[in-house]
Structure 1
Amino acid sequence: MTDLLENKNVLTNHAYQLYYARKRLVRSQSPSTSSSLATDQADEVFYPKLSISPSSYPSRSDPHLSKSKPSSPRSSLTDPAVDCRSNEPEACTLGPCDLTLLARWCASTHRSLSLDGRNGSIWRSRIVREGMSYPPLLNSILALSALDMLYNCGRDSVQMPQHKQQHLRRLVILHWDRASAGLDNQINPARSGLPRNDSISLFALCNILIVLAFGHIRWSSCSPPPSSSSSSCRSAIVDFCYTVRQVRGSPEILVQLIDDVAQGELASLVRPEEASHRMMPNTFTLAIHALRNKAQVNKADPEARLDPSTSLIYSQAIDRLSSCLQYLTWSSRPGLLGLSWLLEIPAGFVDLALDQQPIALTILAHYCVVLYHLRSQWWMGNLGIQILKEISQLLGRDDRLGDIQWAIDAIAGDCDANAG
């Protein structure tokens, strides 16, 4: 109840700010530039006066993967909202649409981060307060709330008009870009020396950016553009690799921040609750052992010989996968820490997976077990099942299904069901 009252007070205070700011704007008859979402009329909540033109929005729904250079998840925006924290006011001025999205966060979207049902009050209240003094975090909150609304509007009994969906999509892109650029500006000058007092805000921001990447690819796969013939031609492997490339870069500091957060007052965010029963059998150690054997440089068999650099990429990916699966065997749920594998694997692993290299696909198939245990989240869905089915078809051509039998058994009969 206290958390709800605190959030109510926050929203009320900003509503008063908006009211008096609007009165001043009406007197001066000058357009507002302090917020791209500030509107002159309350009924324009889905028609914000954006500071960028529609033609400048980046396309996130049509990934174009390049091996030579990872695709950038952001457009090149020049906006004061992406400057570092020192250039921002202590309090953010919110428009009507911002308040709508913030209310959505407090009501439901925050649950996208509290995967095991715990820590909901932290994401609903404490993280919002952090965002009020850290614009990149607030932008990420608004972006995820907008994406949550966009994803669910097609599932509501009353369909949202297409033009409103388009404006909502623009809000996702706008806030996402600002959140990502704000993070880049803060950490790029000194990656090795992150300010400890910003650990909570940065940790929350990185987690939300990861969820945004998965949520956007999920939404785009469920809502193909009218020009596409069918969503069935999409490759789950390509979608996954595109998502991995989006979360690489600045969000990789999440791995460094975990230890800082674990020592503070919000340690419960990174300390999972031990499960009363195992999420999966501990036979994963045998599967990891088999993967290590395949990733070794085989000098005796020229046909099975791996390049040493490729072997190193596989070995590093397997090491991280082993830790991830070990965490899953005793945790109640994989949680967002289960996604840290994406930030720790070598960048070259994505290229090998896109090339459909058998060992890379085999490793990825085992990671699908982690994605499978996140399937209840709207931003993940059955992506793990879809990837495993696609890998099964590819490896089945070469009679390599035995290499991923452990992953198939761990997911059981769901691989035979229709992936949603």
Structure 2
Amino acid sequence: MDATSPLTPESAQQRGGATSSSAAGPRRAHQKSRLGCKTCKSRKIKCDEQKPACGNCIRHHVQCDFVETSAAPSRSPSTSFLDLNMDQLELLHNYTTSTYATLSESPVIRDFYRITVVQIGLECDYVMRSLLAVSSLQLAYYRPHMREHYRSTAVHHHEIASRIAGNLMQDLNASTVEKLFLFSTLTVFYAFGCPRRDDQLHLVGESDIPNWFFLHQGTRALSELASTRLDGALAPIFQHGIDRWQAREVSRQTVSPVHQHLDRLQTSIERSEPDAALRNTYINAISELRKSFLSMECGRGQAYEVTDIFIWVFVVGDDFVPLLRVPTQSAVTILAFFCVLLRGLKSQWWLNGWADYLMAKSYALLDREHRLWIQWPMEEIGYIP
């Protein structure tokens, strides 16, 4: 037989070979597939092992597992971070390394903002978004070349947080009041850090008074509910407030030029205000200002800080602060004296320019007579109309 002649069934039988009864033509030898895809193996068909998808899977329009398995080796440690939201991680890193330290002069309260607030934020979306918004505003302040990016990011996070928290405010309970208190507190810092433009949310109505005055009213109400649990997560911040309050209430014999100016202001208001209820409200606000100025001047060996400033806002919140919405001439005049307290704080990014800004707004709202009443606070902060 010619070596090149085809092998027929008859010749194979003559040579002692056996063939399948179903064989109808020549059988083509092939190497067994050992690395085929799972789909081909399950169908018991030969896989051409082409990647990222074999020919059989492409023809039958099915998912080839080569697509999944081939993707994993191509990922390197240098690119695996792409699954993370780097913008949010940047804001959280900035908050825990920088922002927290600008929110208080007290080491204990700084640790509270750095540790406790972040821990609660990891469990509560709107608290986390609130602190990210504050962090983003700080970066906007220090990175002017990326200011619009960070400001828009801050607004985005805070708007989402506000929608969630706003719905929960309608039905306060023990499980939400602490988180809502933190949201409100962080929102005050957010309002401070927002751009001071007339079209921004920090202005209320036509009074040109920043809304952190009014935000403190909500925070005050929440604090009264949350502070009933002095052994809870918020215990450090409430204890700190109590300590600063008690230091403020200590009777002191110190007399300074500030009190002489406040005395003259009180006398002027008593003579010009015919309404007894309003007169008492103004006198009480001035009396509380005296305590605040004494805290700033005496300090009892402790750093004067933001808590000392806003105790005044808390105390006069129910009666006096609503008059700033109107606003009345006497209320705006008292606010001008408050600007001196703001200037007395250690400068932080979120406080920068606020004393001058509020004084300018106060001056613009006052008539000629009341502008004469605020000459002393204008001189103290160096404001020139």
- Name the TM tier (shorter chain): 0.5 to 0.7
Q: Is the 8 A contact 2:273 2:279 kept in 1?
A: no
Measure the CA separation in 1 of the matches of 2:177 and 2:240: 12
Residue by residue over 1:201-240, the C-alpha shift from the partner in whole angstroms, topping out at 9 and shown as x without a partner, is 444333211110111144x58xx99xxxxxxxx9xx9554
Measure the CA separation in 2 of the matches of 1:313 and 1:393: 23
Shift of residue 293 of structure 1?
3.6
Q: Which runs of 5+ in 2 are unaligned?
A: 1-66, 69-78
Relative distance call for 1:315 and 1:217 in structure 2 (3 A) is farther
**Equivalent residues in 2 for 1:47-62, closer than 5 Å:** none
Relative distance call for 1:178 and 1:417 in structure 2 (3 A) is same
Relative distance call for 1:140 and 1:328 in structure 2 (3 A) is same
* Structure-1-length-normalised TM-score: 0.55
Match of 1:361 in 2: 332
Does residue 179 of the first structure (1) align with residue 161 of the second (2)? yes
Shift of residue 337 of structure 1?
4.6
Residue by residue over 1:259-309, the C-alpha shift from the partner in whole angstroms, topping out at 9 and shown as x without a partner, is 75599355564335989xx9x96554444444444444x5xxxxx343345
Does residue 210 of the first structure (1) align with residue 195 of the second (2)? no
Relative distance call for 1:115 and 1:125 in structure 2 (3 A) is same
Shift of residue 109 of structure 1?
1.2
Give the number of the structure with larger relative contact order, counting CA–CA contacts within 8 Å between residues 6 or more apart.
1
Measure the CA separation in 2 of the matches of 1:376 and 1:262: 32
Q: Which runs of 5+ in 1 are unaligned?
A: 1-25, 28-39, 45-93, 226-233, 299-303
Compute the RMSD of aligned alpha carbons. Answer: 4.5
Match of 2:98 in 1: 108
Shift of residue 366 of structure 1?
1.4
Measure the CA separation in 1 of the matches of 2:260 and 2:222: 31
Match of 2:118 in 1: 128
Does residue 378 of the first structure (1) align with residue 349 of the second (2)? yes
Of 127, 135, 148, the match for 2:138: 148
Match of 2:222 in 1: 253
Shift of residue 324 of structure 1?
3.6
* Structure-2-length-normalised TM-score: 0.60
**Equivalent residues in 2 for 1:89-108, closer than 5 Å:** 95-108=85-98
Of 205, 209, 213, the match for 1:244: 213
Measure the CA separation in 2 of the matches of 1:387 and 1:267: 28
Does residue 314 of the first structure (1) align with residue 282 of the second (2)? yes
Measure the CA separation in 1 of the matches of 2:217 and 2:329: 23
Amino acid corresponding to residue 318 of structure 1 in structure 2: I
Match of 2:51 in 1: none
Q: Is the 8 A contact 2:342 2:355 kept in 1?
A: yes
Shift of residue 129 of structure 1?
0.9
Larger Rg over CA atoms: 2
Residue by residue over 1:313-367, the C-alpha shift from the partner in whole angstroms, topping out at 9 and shown as x without a partner, is 4345335434444443443213235224445545785675576643222211111
Match of 2:304 in 1: 333
Q: Is the 8 A contact 1:288 1:322 kept in 2?
A: yes
Match of 2:57 in 1: none
Match of 1:415 in 2: 382
